[in-house]
Structure 1
Amino acid sequence: MTRLTALLSATCLALPLWAAELGDDGLHKADWMRDTFKDLNEDLAEANAEGKRLVIMVEQRGCVYCAKMHKEVFSDPEVSDYIRENFFVVQMNLHGDTEVTDFDGEALSEKAAARKWGILFTPSILFLPKEVEEGQTAAESAVALMPGAFSKGTTIDMFTWVNEERYALDSEEDFQRYHARRIQERNNGSFD
């Protein structure tokens, strides 16, 4: 093998896997994202049937923070495996024209839905409850919103906090206290 062939082979092997995950819409794709008709009532029913929680992940083309999350956080097997096993993730484009049907029955483009829900940053992750009250929008129904890019620890803690339904009104541990406890536990080596 020539040195050039060896160099090219090593370079190709060293390229991050996430680099090939850009879709035609310019958004990063993960194997745990679902391609749906974006009818949120149908998506919620399907998520519930699978025993998973519905998540809406809003991203945009060229978003450096979205790229950072996909490269540094979502690519981590602990995070990706947890999301894959527990969540039904529907990706939406902040500036997209694909039709979305909100829980309240309104059909509108992705970009109009993002404005309606007050989404200003990408990535933004809306975590939905198992049941949505009739007439509510996705934003009104959300049990948590994660606006922006965060570290692996914060991300896995948020997904876990939601999955364990710690947002319930009778819970004595809000996310900040939960996250602080988990950081301390990680620092003490209490868990991975």
Structure 2
Amino acid sequence: MPKMLFALIALLLFASPVPAATVGDDGLHKQDWFAITFRDIAEDIEAAREEGKRLALVFEQRGCIYCRKMHEEILSDPEVREFIEAHFKVVQYNMFGDEEVTDLDGDVLTEKTAARKWGYVFTPTIVFLPEEAAEGASVAEAAVATMPGAFGKWTFLNMFRWVSEKGYETEEHFQKYHARIIEELRREGRLDAE
């Protein structure tokens, strides 16, 4: 018994903790792996592509309990975080912010006017952009998928996987993809509460 107790204590002491999200001056939760850019969407798409990744924009707001939950419960999960970090360049937007944004169609906006123009009203909202910038289209028109609101781990992760696998170009709608993956997880005994 003492050996088992010692092993448990050692595991707790030396386990590498997942870094917690911090809260910035703007009141938004921050991940150290979120990209800081000049918010020129076409440039960000190209930079992501050069890194072998896709661009995802995440709209949040100060005091959003669902954003906090996303950061503390979903993005802190190593499986979720590692997949997103490996496949996506994520840029955070403040739904009511004043930072300058250049849309794909060339319009120069603030974060808040961009959110209104693109029709994003929920936080968090994650917008997935194509691999190459669509000239003349706005972000909302060019987006290959949008995830409005907060979801559990598997819905959240499966949406990133579906976009990464270009499911939007296939006949398998996201809901069908998600149901198939959930069934596979059940068979493997890996499904936790969703």
Query: Within 5 A, what are the aligned runs for 1:1-192?
Result: 17-18=19-20, 21-168=22-169, 171-189=170-188
- Deviation, 1:166, is 0.8
Size of the aligned set, in residue pairs, is 175
In 1, Cα distance between equivalents of 2:189 and 2:48: 32
Considering only aligned residues, what root-mean-square deviation do their CA atoms show, in Å?
A: 1.6
Flag structure 1 segments of 5+ consecutive residues without an equivalent.
1-15
Deviation beyond 3 Å, 4+ runs, structure 1? none
- Deviation, 1:32, is 2.0
State the secondary structure of the residue aligned to 1:150: coil
- With normalisation by structure 2, the TM-score equals 0.87
- With normalisation by structure 1, the TM-score equals 0.87
1:39-95 C-alpha deviation (Å, 9 max, x unpaired): 111111100100100001000010000000111100000000001100011100000
- Deviation, 1:133, is 2.2
- Deviation, 1:17, is 4.9
Q: Contact 2:46 / 2:133 at 8 angstroms: preserved in 1?
A: no
Q: State, as a whole percentage, how many aligned pairs show the same letter.
A: 56
In 1, Cα distance between equivalents of 2:94 and 2:107: 17
Flag structure 2 segments of 5+ consecutive residues without an equivalent.
1-17
